[in-house]
Structure 1
């Protein structure tokens, strides 16, 4: 089925959000998953991990200007952030 969707970016995830299979368009859009380990292909870990390979390491921009890391808070502490970003 994925072969027929090759022109569309499609990823197939397991129940624990680990990327199992993908189309070539997915690899172009999101980066080649073959360059990642099985653990690094887990979407939840990618979003919430604090290491250099996680999305948490990406720059946060507001109106094209980088927001200092100290102002970027997890959802659980929204409303309790420092004055620099509120």
Structure 2
């Protein structure tokens, strides 16, 4: 009995997951599509769910966050500074 859940997935799920890992490492826009393909092929693919959460953290774009939570750029770049959520 294999204890490695990654080896117990379908070939399609494995290939899509490998593409998702590569896309995430390369910061490519195809990350989401590859993760969706992985989860479509194997909805219980634990590593794909973990990678999706990780991708949401590291690929998050500041313009998608509410304005009160954005971290501003240093002064002199033409954008607002840090907006405190307590003010």
Pairwise same-fold verdict (TM > 0.5):
no
Richer in strand (by share): 1
The structure, 1 or 2, with the larger RCO (C-alpha pairs under 8 Å, 6+ apart) is 2
TM-score range, shorter chain: under 0.3
Richer in helix (by share): 2
